[in-house]
């Protein structure tokens, strides 16, 4: 026993180091984004308030661009409205009126693009009806997924995260593709494992498939930048230029699919689902 | 002594906030992100007790973590760096004739000594941090590039801060 104590006191520096390391790794391990909610609900309000102060200040420099974006969106919506009132005798419109989608607008108060795993924070929380796993979009395209909610704030992972994978569709031929991010350039995403028979050329538009129930269908993700043929294994891969500049997020919409639970229950009851 | 203690506390607060609200907003091509808060650990007194070195290192990292919602990552890297510090001081050249509260800086330690000391420790910290962030070796080349670029930038920023605030006798 005395020898043990002597040993510990001799190497106390290393022992203390190991103890701190273990604490850190426990924190990291629990910081899987499934379990992050605990940390955000304890620190979310404090950091949320700090971030709000910071973004209140930095938003002034962004006002012009944000206004332009909102004006463009208004114009687009106005055009759609006119289109709709003109073609009332269309059975599809009734379907759309019972829309299963709800949009909640929010302001981005914290955001990063420079890490391997990037998060963003918005100024709406469960008080405003935000839940985990809701999709986040802007008028330009897909942003990310909510992973944590506290009372007044919520945080999410953007596509710029190693665990993010978004199911997309090539607009012109409805082929499904997966979009991920390799950590290099925050404007370019990865397209991988595309069967080589699929017709895909630079400039093609990729939109959301709607398969995941997180994002609605037909939301822009980006355009194909270039394609590499991989001859040996019959696949090709490429890069996609995101339509959203993640460095300039200001106002976003959180999407809620009202019938998501129903759809998921149906999916669970399918035989080959994990 | 109280003055030195106060200086360390002020440095801690300033550096952690500067890290979260200034240096984390610095982005060049999306993957450059200097970690200047490590300067706090670099500038702890030469003769700081091992217990305090590790504890302060841990809490510096933890503060950055909590403000950035990345619990554990910066804490682990900062503790690792604090653990390496005594060995690196021995490697670069031990300072024997120091007062209890003397701390490494450009003016007193000599610029070459301080550069070597900073460069090695920042490199160790960044290596640990960025590999922890990626958590796999498949992106080895990319991660190495990121480590080297950020080590260079962090060191330059630390030296600029040193020359701005500590090069003349202002205490």
Contact B69 A116 (CB under 8 A): no
- pLDDT, position B137: 64
Backbone phi, then psi, for B150, in 5-degree steps?
A: -75, -35
Q: Residue B95 belongs to a domain with what CATH number? A: 1.10.1760
Contact A12 B51 (CB under 8 A): yes
Chain B positions contacting chain A at CB under 8 Å are: 21, 24, 27, 29-33, 50-51, 54-55, 57-58, 61, 65-67, 69-73, 75-76, 79-80, 82-83, 86, 130, 132-135, 139, 142
- Model confidence at A9: pLDDT above 80: no
Query: Is residue A40, in this structure, part of any structural domain at all?
Result: yes
- Model confidence at B120: pLDDT above 90: yes
What single string gives the DSSP state of each residue in A165-185?
-EEEEETTT--EEEEE--SS-
Query: Is residue A84, in this structure, part of any structural domain at all?
Result: no
- pLDDT, position A138: 87
Domain count, chain B: 1
Q: Which of A75, A93, A125 lies at the terminal end of a domain, its last residue? A: A75
Query: Is residue A119, in this structure, part of any structural domain at all?
Result: yes
pLDDT tens-digit readout, A124-133 = 888 888 888 8
Domain count, chain A: 2
Strand, helix or coil for residue A33:
coil
> What average pLDDT score do residues A134-149 get?
87
Query: Is residue B170, in this structure, part of any structural domain at all?
Result: no
Q: Is there a single domain that holds both residue A44 and residue A173?
A: no
Among the partner residues B21, B31, B65, nearest to A114 by beta-carbon distance: B31
Q: Is there a single domain that holds both residue A46 and residue A166?
A: no
> Within 13 Å and on the Cβ side, how many CA atoms surround A175?
16
Read off the DSSP letter of residue B35: -
- Residue B150: which domain range? 2-165
- Model confidence at B138: pLDDT above 60: yes
Query: Is residue B171, in this structure, part of any structural domain at all?
Result: no
Query: Is residue B63, in this structure, part of any structural domain at all?
Result: yes
Strand, helix or coil for residue A4:
helix
> Which of A115, A118, A153 to probe the B interface (max B CBs under 10 A)?
A115
Q: Is there a single domain that holds both residue A200 and residue A247?
A: yes
Torsion angle of C-alpha atoms B50, B51, B56, B61, degrees rounded to 10:
90
A52 contact B CB<8A = no
pLDDT tens-digit readout, B28-82 = 655 778 889 999 999 888 888 888 899 999 999 988 888 777 778 899 999 999 9
Contact A113 B27 (CB under 8 A): yes
- Model confidence at A32: pLDDT above 70: no
- pLDDT, position A273: 47
> Within 13 Å and on the Cβ side, how many CA atoms surround A42?
7
Query: Is residue A6, in this structure, part of any structural domain at all?
Result: no
Which of the pair, A94 or A46, is modelled with greater confidence? A46
- Model confidence at A254: pLDDT above 80: yes
Residue A203's nearest CA partner among A188, A222, A182 is A222
ipTM: 0.81
Question: With contacts defined as CB-CB under 8 Å, which chain A residues touch B76?
Answer: 20-21, 24-25, 28
Read off the DSSP letter of residue B89: H
Q: Is there a single domain that holds both residue A59 and residue A106?
A: no
pLDDT tens-digit readout, A173-232 = 888 888 888 877 888 888 888 888 888 888 889 988 877 778 888 888 999 988 887 666
Q: Residue A218 belongs to a domain with what CATH number? A: 2.40.10.340
Q: Is there a single domain that holds both residue A196 and residue A231?
A: yes
Query: Is residue A181, in this structure, part of any structural domain at all?
Result: yes
Residue A29's nearest CA partner among B51, B56, B75, B123 is B75
Among the partner residues A28, A40, A247, nearest to B72 by beta-carbon distance: A28
Contact B31, A183 (CB under 8 A): yes
Q: Is there a single domain that holds both residue A106 and residue A41?
A: no
Query: Is residue B77, in this structure, part of any structural domain at all?
Result: yes
Q: Is there a single domain that holds both residue A226 and residue A122?
A: yes
How far is it, in rounded angstroms, from Cα A190 to Cα B170?
A: 53
- Residue A70: which domain range? 36-75
How far is it, in rounded angstroms, from Cα A245 to Cα A260?
A: 28
Q: Is there a single domain that holds both residue A48 and residue A136?
A: no
CA distances from B118 to A256, B56, B101 (A): 49, 18, 19
Query: Is residue B76, in this structure, part of any structural domain at all?
Result: yes
Q: Is there a single domain that holds both residue A120 and residue A178?
A: yes
How far is it, in rounded angstroms, from Cα A97 to Cα B119?
A: 62
């Amino acid at each position: 026993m005395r020898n043990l104590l002597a040993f510990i006191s001799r190497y106390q520096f290393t022992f203390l180091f190991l103890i701190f390391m273990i604490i850190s790794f426990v924190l990291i391990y629990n910081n899987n984004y499934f379990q992050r909610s605990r940390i955000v609900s304890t620190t979310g309000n404090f950091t949320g308030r700090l971030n709000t102060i910071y973004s209140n200040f930095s938003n002034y420099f962004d006002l012009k661009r944000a206004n332009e974006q909102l004006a463009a969106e208004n114009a687009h919506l106005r055009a759609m409205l006119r289109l709709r009132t003109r073609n009332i005798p269309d059975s599809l419109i009734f379907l759309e009126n019972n829309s299963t989608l709800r949009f909640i607008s929010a302001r981005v108060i914290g955001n990063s693009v420079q890490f391997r795993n990037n998060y963003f924070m918005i100024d709406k929380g469960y008080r405003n009806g935000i839940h985990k796993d809701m999709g986040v979009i802007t008028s330009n395209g897909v942003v990310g997924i909510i992973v944590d909610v506290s009372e007044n704030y919520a945080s999410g992972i953007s596509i710029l995260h190693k665990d993010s994978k978004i199911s997309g569709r090539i607009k012109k031929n409805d082929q499904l593709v997966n979009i991920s991010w390799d950590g290099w350039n925050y404007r370019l995403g990865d397209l991988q494992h595309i069967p080589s028979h699929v017709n895909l050329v630079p400039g093609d538009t990729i939109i959301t498939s709607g398969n995941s129930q997180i994002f609605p269908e037909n939301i822009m993700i980006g355009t194909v930048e270039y394609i590499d043929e991989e001859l040996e294994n019959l696949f090709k891969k490429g890069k996609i230029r995101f339509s959203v500049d993640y460095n300039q997020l200001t106002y976003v919409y959180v999407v809620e699919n009202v019938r998501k639970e129903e759809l998921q229950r149906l999916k669970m009851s399918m035989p080959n689902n994990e | 002594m109280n003055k030195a203690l106060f200086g360390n506390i002020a440095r801690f607060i300033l550096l952690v906030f500067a890290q979260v609200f200034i240096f984390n907003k610095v982005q060049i091509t999306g993957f450059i992100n200097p970690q200047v808060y490590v300067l706090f650990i670099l500038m702890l007194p030469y003769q700081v007790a091992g217990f305090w070195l590790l504890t302060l290192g841990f809490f510096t990292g933890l503060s950055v973590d909590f403000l950035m919602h990345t619990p554990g990552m910066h804490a682990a890297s900062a503790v690792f760096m604090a653990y390496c510090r005594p060995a690196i001081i021995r490697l670069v050249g031990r300072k024997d004739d120091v007062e209890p509260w003397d701390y490494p800086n450009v003016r007193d330690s000599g610029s070459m000594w301080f550069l070597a000391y900073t460069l090695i420790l920042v490199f160790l910290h960044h290596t640990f941090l960025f590999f922890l962030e990626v958590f796999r070796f498949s992106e080895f080349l990319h991660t190495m590039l990121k480590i080297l670029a950020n080590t260079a930038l962090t060191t330059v920023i630390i030296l600029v801060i040193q020359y701005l605030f500590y090069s003349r006798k202002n205490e």
